A and B are shown apart, each in its own frame.
Chain A
Amino acid sequence: MAAQEKPIRIIIGKVGCDIHERGALILARAFRDAGMEVIYLGRYQTADTVAKTAVDEDASVVALSDHTGSMRYIADEIVASLEKYGGSDIPVVSGGLIPKKDLPYLESLGVTGNFGPGTALPIVVEHIQKTVEKSRQAAKA
Chain B
Amino acid sequence: MATQPENNENPSVVYDRSLGGMVRDATQAFIPLQEVYTPEDIQDTDYERDLNDPGKYPFTRGIYERMYRDRLWIKSFIVSYSTLEETNQAFKEYLANGQTGLRLLADLPIQSGLDPDHPSSWNAMLCGGISSYALETYEKMLDGLPLENVDYELAHMGMSSFLCCYSYLVAMMEKRGLDISTLRGAAINDPFRSKIVYGCPDFPTEIDRRITLDLIEFAVKNTPKWKAYAPNGVDPQQSGFTAVQEAAHVLAVATAVYTDLINERGISLDEVGATVFSMDAESDFFETLCMFRATRRMWAKIAKEKLGATTARAQSLRIGIRTSGLSLQTQKPLNNAARVTLQILSCVLGGVNSLDASSIDEAIGLPSREARLFNLDAQHIVTHEANVPLVADPLGGSYYVEWLTNKIEEEANQILQTIEDNGGMWACLESGWLRHQIDASRMRVQAEINEGKRLIVGVNAFEGEEGPINKAIENCAYKVPSKKMRQKTIADVKRLRATRDKEKVNASVVELYNATKEGRNVVRATIEASKAGVTLGETVGVIRMAYGYGYDPLNQIEAPAFITELLGGK
Contact surface of A with B, Cβ cutoff 8 Å: 15-19, 21-22, 25-26, 29, 42-44, 46, 66, 68-70, 73-74, 77, 97, 99-100, 116-118, 120-121
**Is B460 part of the binding interface, using a Cβ–Cβ cutoff of 8 Å?**
yes
| Contact between chains at B460 and A16 (CB < 8 Å) | no
| Contact between chains at A116 and B330 (CB < 8 Å) | yes
| Contact between chains at B330 and A16 (CB < 8 Å) | no
| Contact between chains at A43 and B199 (CB < 8 Å) | yes
| Contact between chains at B108 and A74 (CB < 8 Å) | no
| Contact between chains at A70 and B124 (CB < 8 Å) | yes
Q: How distant is A86 from chain B, measured CB to nearest CB, in Å?
A: 22
Q: How distant is B462 from chain A, measured CB to nearest CB, in Å?
A: 13
| Contact between chains at A44 and B120 (CB < 8 Å) | yes
| Contact between chains at B330 and A70 (CB < 8 Å) | no
| Contact between chains at A22 and B556 (CB < 8 Å) | no
Which of B218-226, B311-319, B439-447, B532-540 interfaces with chain A? Answer: B439-447
Given A25, A26, A42, A69, which contacts B480 in the complex, CB threshold below 8 Å? A69
* Chain B contact residues: helix, strand, loop or mixed: loop
Question: What is the CA–CA distance of A97 and B157 in the complex, to the nearest angstrom?
Answer: 20
Question: What is the CA–CA distance of A117 and B119 in the complex, to the nearest angstrom?
Answer: 28
Which single residue of chain A is at the shortest CB-CB distance from B474? A100
Q: Nearest 8 pairs between A and B by C-beta?
A: A16-B123, A69-B480, A68-B127, A17-B108, A17-B124, A118-B459, A68-B124, A16-B124
Question: What is the CA–CA distance of A66 and B480 in the complex, to the nearest angstrom?
Answer: 13
Q: How distant is B40 from chain A, measured CB to nearest CB, in Å?
A: 40
Give 19 CB contacts A-B under 8 Å.
Answer: A16-B109, A16-B120, A16-B123, A16-B124, A17-B111, A17-B120, A19-B108, A19-B200, A26-B442, A44-B201, A44-B554, A46-B120, A46-B556, A68-B123, A69-B127, A70-B127, A97-B364, A99-B480, A100-B474
Q: How many residues of B contact A (CB 8 A)?
A: 44
**Is B331 part of the binding interface, using a Cβ–Cβ cutoff of 8 Å?**
yes
Question: What is the CA–CA distance of A121 and B123 in the complex, to the nearest angstrom?
Answer: 26
Given the complex, which residues of B lie within 8 Å of A97, measured CB to CB? 330, 363-365
| Contact between chains at A118 and B121 (CB < 8 Å) | no
**Is B491 part of the binding interface, using a Cβ–Cβ cutoff of 8 Å?**
no
Question: What is the CA–CA distance of A70 and B456 in the complex, to the nearest angstrom?
Answer: 27
| Contact between chains at A70 and B480 (CB < 8 Å) | yes
Q: How distant is B176 from chain A, measured CB to nearest CB, in Å?
A: 32
**Is B329 part of the binding interface, using a Cβ–Cβ cutoff of 8 Å?**
yes
**Interface-centre pick from B108, B240, B364, B456 (highest chain A CB count, 10 A):** B108
For window 245-277 of B, CB contacts with A under 8 Å fall at none
| Contact between chains at B329 and A118 (CB < 8 Å) | yes
Given the complex, which residues of B lie within 8 Å of A116, measured CB to CB? 330
| Contact between chains at B480 and A17 (CB < 8 Å) | no
- Mark contacts of B58-77 with chain A using CB atoms, 8 A cut-off: 1 yes-contact digit, 0 otherwise: 00000000000000000000
Known: A22-B238, A44-B112. A68 touches B128 (CB 8 A): yes
Q: How distant is A118 from chain B, measured CB to nearest CB, in Å?
A: 4
Q: How distant is A56 from chain B, measured CB to nearest CB, in Å?
A: 19
- Beyond the given pairs A26-B443, A69-B127, 14 more chain A to chain B contacts, judged by CB atoms under 8 angstroms and listed by A's residue number, are A16-B108, A16-B121, A16-B122, A18-B108, A18-B124, A29-B446, A42-B199, A46-B120, A68-B108, A68-B124, A69-B365, A69-B479, A70-B480, A117-B363
Question: What is the CA–CA distance of A99 and B478 in the complex, to the nearest angstrom?
Answer: 10
Given the complex, which residues of B lie within 8 Å of A73, measured CB to CB? 122-123, 483
Q: How distant is B237 from chain A, measured CB to nearest CB, in Å?
A: 11
Q: How distant is A4 from chain B, measured CB to nearest CB, in Å?
A: 31
Given the complex, which residues of A lie within 8 Å of B111, measured CB to CB? 17, 19
For window 207-251 of B, CB contacts with A under 8 Å fall at 238-240
For window 479-493 of B, CB contacts with A under 8 Å fall at 479-480, 483
| Contact between chains at B365 and A99 (CB < 8 Å) | yes
| Contact between chains at B460 and A17 (CB < 8 Å) | no
Given the complex, which residues of B lie within 8 Å of A74, measured CB to CB? 123
Question: What is the CA–CA distance of A43 and B109 in the complex, to the nearest angstrom?
Answer: 12
Q: How distant is A114 from chain B, measured CB to nearest CB, in Å?
A: 13
**Is B426 part of the binding interface, using a Cβ–Cβ cutoff of 8 Å?**
no
Question: What is the CA–CA distance of A71 and B381 in the complex, to the nearest angstrom?
Answer: 38
Q: How distant is A19 from chain B, measured CB to nearest CB, in Å?
A: 5
Q: How distant is B523 from chain A, measured CB to nearest CB, in Å?
A: 25
**Is B450 part of the binding interface, using a Cβ–Cβ cutoff of 8 Å?**
yes
Which single residue of chain B is at the shortest CB-CB distance from A22? B239
**Is B94 part of the binding interface, using a Cβ–Cβ cutoff of 8 Å?**
no
Question: What is the CA–CA distance of A46 and B128 in the complex, to the nearest angstrom?
Answer: 20
Known: A69-B480, A97-B364. A117 touches B330 (CB 8 A): yes
Question: What is the CA–CA distance of A68 and B126 in the complex, to the nearest angstrom?
Answer: 9
Q: How distant is A29 from chain B, measured CB to nearest CB, in Å?
A: 7
Given the complex, which residues of A lie within 8 Å of B459, measured CB to CB? 118
Q: How distant is B221 from chain A, measured CB to nearest CB, in Å?
A: 33
Given the complex, which residues of A lie within 8 Å of B124, measured CB to CB? 16-18, 68, 70
